[in-house]
Structure 1
Amino acid sequence: MRWWDIEPVMELELKLFPEDAWSHGMFWSELAEAHPGGTRHYTVAETADGELAGYAGLMAVGVESDVQTIAVAEGRQGAGLGAALLTDLVTEAARRGCEEVLLEVRADNPRAQRLYERFGFETIGIRPGYYQPADVDALVMRLEHPAPDLKDPRHG
């Protein structure tokens, strides 16, 4: 992800997460740390004609990493793009020497939970009322020892 991706990312962000969307400033701040030696890794997925299909971001500090965001356009969900984006993040965490990857996922989003479970993430806690203003709990999930040669779990 680069600065010129922020506008299309924001359009998708507002469509997918209207109640708790990130701001332009949040994405700018994240990208400010997405440089060699920085603590962030952000990626976008585009269609053949250049339309934004999804994006994802990772924070990696020391041996710990955290999935900051992952999003797939509604018309592109269910086709493996989320798994491809997550593969990129987990592979980057392993490349950086991280011993674990953490994330929060809405308790009312079983589809995303199943994706994370296929990758080996396990629920380790709950954050009550984490997603506002809807007051939805977040499940905290962890993947220990991400494999640097992770294969997409859709393909065995």
Structure 2
Amino acid sequence: MKFRKASIKDVPNIVQMIADDALGSTREKYTIPLPQTYYDAYERIDSDQNQELTVVVNEKDEVIGVFQMTFIPYLTYQGGVRAQIEGVRVHKSYRNQGVGKTIFQWAIQRAKERNAHLLQLTTDKKRPDAIRFYESLGFKASHEGMKMHF
């Protein structure tokens, strides 16, 4: 496995992975051609120095995993930086083979390289397997999250 910055040519594979589960299939629109909104989002992410969209590829350079890290500068923690990881997906034919754990090991190291003092994530309460996985990696449910959808 190798990690590399996602390119615009990876967008269809990324969207296919994020749409390939019970929750993602209700939110995403994976069609060919792919809606332009996904390419527009990629361009916004790619142009922001605090965003890193990373893919995991196999020996054939096929995308088998994806995640996005956001580095959030703020005033608390004496002007600290927190890293947030979102959109973690592993291609269905590579699940339960350690790819997810490898992604998080890489992401933790990347957060440290960017001088973040913590790595945070959110996960849907409807994903109990994911919650157990994150807890096995050392994440703790320290806060109660809230969202307002528009």
Q: Say yes or no: TM over 0.5.
A: yes
Judged with a 3 Å threshold, the aligned counterparts in structure 2 of structure 1 residues 88 and 42 are, in CA distance, closer, same or farther, namely: farther
Aligned 8 A contact 2:18 2:87 in 1: no
- Structure 2 regions of 5+ residues with no counterpart? 1-5, 30-36, 74-80
- Structure showing greater Rg: 2
Question: Separation in 2 of the partners of 1:53 and 1:8?
Answer: 9
Question: Separation in 2 of the partners of 1:100 and 1:66?
Answer: 8
Q: Work out which of the residue numbers 7, 24, 28 in structure 1 matches 2:12.
A: 7
- Report the residue type matching 1:89 in the other structure: A
2:38 aligned with 1:20, yes or no? no
**Aligned counterparts, 1:74-93, within 5 A:** 74-93=92-111
Judged with a 3 Å threshold, the aligned counterparts in structure 2 of structure 1 residues 101 and 89 are, in CA distance, closer, same or farther, namely: same
Q: Where does residue 141 of structure 1 map in the other structure?
A: none
Which digits, 9 at most, give the CA deviation of each residue in 1:52-104, with x for residues without a partner? 21101100123111112210112211111111111222111111111111111
Aligned 8 A contact 2:18 2:28 in 1: yes
- What is the TM-score when the length of structure 1 is the normalising length? 0.71
Q: Where does residue 60 of structure 2 map in the other structure?
A: 49
The structure where strand makes up a greater share of residues is 1
Aligned 8 A contact 1:3 1:31 in 2: no
In the TM superposition, residue 48 of structure 1 has moved relative to its aligned partner by: 2.5
The structure where helix makes up a greater share of residues is 2
